[in-house]
Structure 1
Amino acid sequence: MAETVHSTTSNGPRNAEANPVARFFRATEIDTRLLGMVGALLIIWIGFQIMTGGLFLTPRNLWNLSVQTSSVAVMATGMVLVIVTRNIDLSVGSMLGFCGMVMGVLQAQVLPQYLGFNSPATWIITLAAGLIVGGSIGMLQGMIIAFLNVPSFIVTLGGLLVWRGATWFVTSGQTVAPMDINFRIMGGGTDGSIGATWSWIVGVIACLTIVASIINSRRQRRRFGFPLRPLWAEYFLSALGCVLVLGAIAVANNYYWPTNIAKRYAEAKGIPWPESGLDIPYGIAVPVLIAVIVGAIMTFVATRLRFGRYVFAIGGNPEAAELAGIKTRWVTVRIFALMGLLCAIAGAISTARLNAATNAQGELDELYTIAAAVIGGTSLAGGTGTIAGAMLGALVMQSLQSGMVLLGIDSPLQRIVVGVVLVVAVWLDTVYRARAK
């Protein structure tokens, strides 16, 4: 029996009046706000490419850009859930710094006394301790917000000051370095990347996952009687996702190790050094891989789990959610505990990338994290937001910062630009919501 396809565009006269572009977006169900942000990102990239004389859109800069975006992108995924519930977390930068300092002291000063330097167990114990500290801080702040009814703005503003001060007291202001050799893999670099072969393997797996998710979504729609996208739209989305993934991997594989590092590697492995040199691709950086995995997990949590539905229900109407039997206070506690865990992961990435734990680590990251979520379409009024949008927003913020650094723009002016972009993003969100009513 032939399959009956209920297209999302089957709206009779309305469909006949719609132009081809509108019909295309309705059929593919592409988020126009997300597409607009992609367009803005492309404009930023092309603009900086012209202004820097072709330095911005190079494999080297794009690879470094992805690594620099990772820690903020990880925290932005949690900030989406916080803002969706009409809360805010101003302490994420300080929590990152405190967790980073705790992990730095553990692996540089405490654990070597018992395990020696560069023990295989050091990075595991260090990361576990960081996650426990971050989760505990987030849970503490969440409980104050949920059960003592103190506004999240005040609690996390206090946390910003408290945990930044606590970071200083851990080492009396001293920088801790170097980090464990295995722990440094989480920060990128020559050892913190997976190479060309494994990058292509990861790319193929990602493409298969994209296709499988689209097929599964179609089956679920058919099962519950929801309208189905046209087959051409399914093919288009599958092809688009695979092209983007494989394109990103091709760029990562076109950035090669520096010559002196490649020479040392060749000598250590007994590889003859050719006259033309040896090109060893970096491939995907480990922190980027961590950020993508965190993004995928958070997307699953937000869209597939009951917890995620509760979060958006609370953001849409807290009173109705309470009356519906949702334990809103405990959901709030879990959201902030999750935010603390993500800050610890971001702290691990940042500390590993710097190969040191410093007192200034994570400063102003709360600004970039909130800006990334808002630019990514998360409404400060609550109830609306996407994980993918927040991660794309983090890339937009880092692109602005990276481009301004290449242009030699001073740090104070960079902050002015970031502040202006944040205000404009909130204004655009207000306009969008007003037109949507």
Structure 2
Amino acid sequence: MVVAMALPRRCVVWFGRPAGAERDELEHSGWPVRVADVQASGVGARNGDVVVALADLRQGDDATLQAMEGMVAEHPGVPWIALVSPETPAHEPRVTSILRDCMAVFTSPIDLPRLRDALDRLGQGGVPARSKPDMPGLVGSSQAMQALRTSLRKYAPVDLPVLITGETGTGKEVAARAVHQLSPRAGRPFVAINCGALPSNLVQSELFGHERGAFTGATTRRIGHIESACGGTVFLDEIGDLPLDAQTNLLRFLQEGTIVRVGSSQSLRADVRVLAATHVDMEKAVAAGRFRQDLYYRLNVLRVQIPALREREGDVELLAQHFLDGFREHHDCHARAFNVAARRALREFPWPGNVRELVNRVQRAAVVADDTLIGVGDLDLPVRPGRSPVAGLDRARVSAERDALVACLRETRFNVSECARRLGIARVTVYRLCKKHGLALDELAQAAR
């Protein structure tokens, strides 16, 4: 977007509507304020200028959010400060994405002296350190996720077994890795084993290892998964599928802290913490005789239930944007966010496959989407009967059309013929669309240099 006039050497580019007192105070302290024009592109800064962008999220209107997203993408080196209020829609994925790029966040009413200090630090090249989340894989702000993170932090330092339960695809291994990373064993190995995928005739060997000649084909000694995790953590996924004979040896290990390789009679001490996970109802498995009761009690010392995605109110959109951002970091795609109908469909879908299904649908949508905003069709999600996916989307459609046109022009270095070919339209249509959206080709090309 283009700022209304040339920027001085120190300037705050304000996205939103500053109050007169806020503007006067900053200008008096040597930080002139320029309100961003959300209709165009580029910050208009000259070489040597010190520019700080200020994201005024107190109103959080769609046009301002779109302008901020554009500047974040086009000018990754510009530092950001955010202003928020209790009414700021922090659960909105686009707002969360912008906040993630901010170096400092101030709440309303603004502490102007602190804001001036932050601006001065940024102007001098000092960037306040942003704390990294201690559980980067567990994304979500719902009460269910907050309670889960609280439990994991309590359990991590205690060197006891943890049984992690939950439906398939909820992220049980992610939770196990978080426990390991927060524990004193974080610098040691984390070994994940899918018990359900182990061949029945090799389960003992895979878990505990074997000696040379222990059975046909055992030509060398093999270290088992538990022994290889010595000093660290072993994660037994789908523990409910472990055969009964292997359950016996696992119980001995949990009781005595020792293992015996197949084909050997020598006990070996293994300093390993055991985390286990299953989607099976363990109480029913014990009652049916499929799982040893004494082993169940040994594993079920500390217990964590991972919530299903449908139980995580408000997290679906946040997760979808998180997965889309992660996909865009490694793949070239047009999609940058989700349109109104897609976000509604994300909220209303029951997600039987949980987070794993959401990841798959988002990645597919990122590949097939032709616009910058992913739609319901790209996600291949059903629409609730009686509700039209296109109702009220005129503004979103116009915005997506403009974004796609600008992106294609930049990719083709503003070659109108090549842009038309890629979009599958005539050259005259490109010029017509530029006029419709108020895009000046010469100015866009110059700003991109």
Q: What band does the TM-score fall into relative to the shorter chain?
A: under 0.3
TM-score by length of 2: 0.21
Larger Rg: 2
State the structure with bigger RCO (CA 8 A, min sep 6), 1 or 2.
1
* Higher share in helix: 1
TM-score by length of 1: 0.21
* Higher share in strand: 2
